[in-house]
């Protein structure tokens, strides 16, 4: 069995009286594509937000890459190697596509104010490396020809790709994608499938929230189903698809 990358232990989160997550325990293995599905409001995005430090869980916690994850520091999650995209795309709209990805390099580079002011050799070399890496990543997600366009002027599908490129720029061990296929047509979804598969083959573990059941079942090594904030089942797609509780909760009887 492959090594564990992420272990969620009894993660709970409630908003007032609403229990968005109830003792969710699941584990993601190194190198797999892990799907997280469930009906609307099941707590998928809440789980994401807890994992990436935007929300502080009310109970439980995460062990990532052998060490526990601090609860309330989004930038530290990225530093540790967790990158994410957002359900409703959150790009830096008035920066170019290239700059968006360059911002993603922030956490893996270190030039400070004095470096910027003095423009010494180390800073210039780092800046050139940032630019080159960002260009490579744009090429990787196949939007290199849009590098100089403002992010907000990109097409919807390209914005999704750009967000993935920006996330990859942080050199994540775990890439969390929040409904990347939402609003995409069949062809675009198929291209996305290839992209995600390629990212995994290049060595990044992927956690995928998705509504498109066909995409999830075809792509994921294992799938977890959330319903009303609680974990229903965690298993390989073939088993999950046949589970009676899942069919009732999500796929519709």
Whose Cβ is closer to another protein: residue 68's or residue 119's?
119
For residue 87, state whether it binds another protein (rule: CB under 8 A): no
- Contacts (CB under 8 A) with another protein, residues 129-168: 130, 150, 152, 166-167
Judged by CB under 8 A, the residue of 18, 25, 93, 132 near another protein is: 93
109 binds another protein (CB under 8 A): yes
Contact positions with another protein (CB under 8 A) in 12-71: 52-54
How far apart, in whole angstroms, are the C-alpha atoms of residue 184 and residue 187? 8
Shorter beta-carbon distance to another protein: residue 54 or 135: 54
Q: Please give the C-alpha separations between residue 47 and each of 15, 20, 40, 226, 229, in angstroms, as whole numbers.
A: 13, 9, 13, 10, 9
Q: Does 180 interact with another protein (rule: CB under 8 A)? A: no
d(CA 219, CA 222): 9
* Residue in 99, 158, 210, 234 binding another protein, rule: CB under 8 A: 99
CB of 110 to another protein, least distance (A): 8
Contact between 92 and another protein by CB under 8 A: the answer reads yes
Sequence-separated (6 or more) residues with CB below 8 Å from residue 112: none
CA distance 161 to 167: 10
Rg of the chain in Å (alpha carbons): 19
């Amino acid at each position: 069995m492959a090594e564990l990358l992420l272990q969620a232990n009894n993660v709970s989160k409630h908003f007032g009286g609403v229990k968005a997550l109830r003792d969710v325990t699941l584990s993601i293995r190194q190198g797999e594509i892990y799907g997280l599905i469930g009906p609307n409001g099941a707590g998928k995005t809440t789980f994401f937000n807890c994992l990436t430090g935007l929300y502080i869980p009310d109970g439980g916690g995460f062990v990532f890459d052998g060490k526990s994850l601090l609860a309330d520091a989004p930038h530290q999650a990225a530093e540790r190697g967790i990158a994410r995209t957002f359900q409703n795309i959150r790009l830096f709209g008035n920066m170019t596509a290239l700059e968006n990805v360059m911002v993603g390099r922030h956490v893996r580079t270190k030039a400070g104010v004095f470096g910027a002011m003095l423009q010494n050799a180390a800073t210039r070399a780092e800046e050139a490396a940032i630019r080159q890496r960002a260009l490579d990543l744009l090429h990787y997600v196949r939007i290199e020809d849009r590098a100089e366009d403002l992010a907000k002027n990109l097409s919807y599908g390209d914005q999704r790709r750009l967000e993935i490129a920006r996330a990859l720029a942080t050199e994540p061990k775990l890439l969390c994608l929040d409904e990347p296929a939402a609003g995409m047509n069949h062809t675009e979804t198929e291209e996305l499938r290839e992209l995600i598969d390629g990212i995994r083959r290049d060595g990044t573990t992927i956690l995928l929230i998705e509504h498109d059941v066909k995409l999830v079942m075809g792509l994921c090594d294992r799938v977890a189903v959330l319903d009303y904030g609680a974990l229903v089942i965690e298993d390989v797609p073939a088993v999950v698809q046949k589970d009676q509780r899942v069919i009732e909760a999500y796929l519709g009887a």
